[in-house]
Amino acid sequence: MPEKSDGNQMRLPSVVWGMAANGGVMDTSWMAKGKCRNEPPARFFPSDGVGVELARRICATCPVKEPCLEYALAQRVDHGVWGGASERERRRILKRRRAAAAVPTTR
């Protein structure tokens, strides 16, 4: 969760997906460039699979799809479609990343 807001930046807890190197600050200026800005918010918080597909179509060609997804993952957003990924898909991504981080590297 954000600790405080400062313009287009949010102060995050010190250890959030490698952002500690950036002082825990996440740039959110990308949000103004999202294709979703001209859509009703309800479109990205659907109650069924058909709604998820409609949101994904908008996200598919969005210029800020990647930072949007990373934001949702870092913030642990558990509702809606972010970066073209549903809640379930984001949980799976996080699970895969945790598993990959836990695998010891061999030399």
Measured CA to CA, the distance from residue 26 to residue 36 in angstroms comes to 20
Listed by start position, the domains of the chain span: 4-102
Neighbour count for residue 21 (Cβ, 10 Å): 6
Q: Where are the alpha helices (DSSP H) in the chain?
A: 49-60, 65-75, 87-102
Confidence of residue 104 (pLDDT cuts 50, 70, 90): confident
Please check whether residue 75 is in contact with residue 83, taking contact to mean a CB–CB distance below 8 angstroms. Answer: no
Q: What is the pTM of this model?
A: 0.72
**Per-residue pLDDT tens for 3-55?**
334 444 443 333 333 444 455 677 889 999 999 999 999 999 998 888 999 99
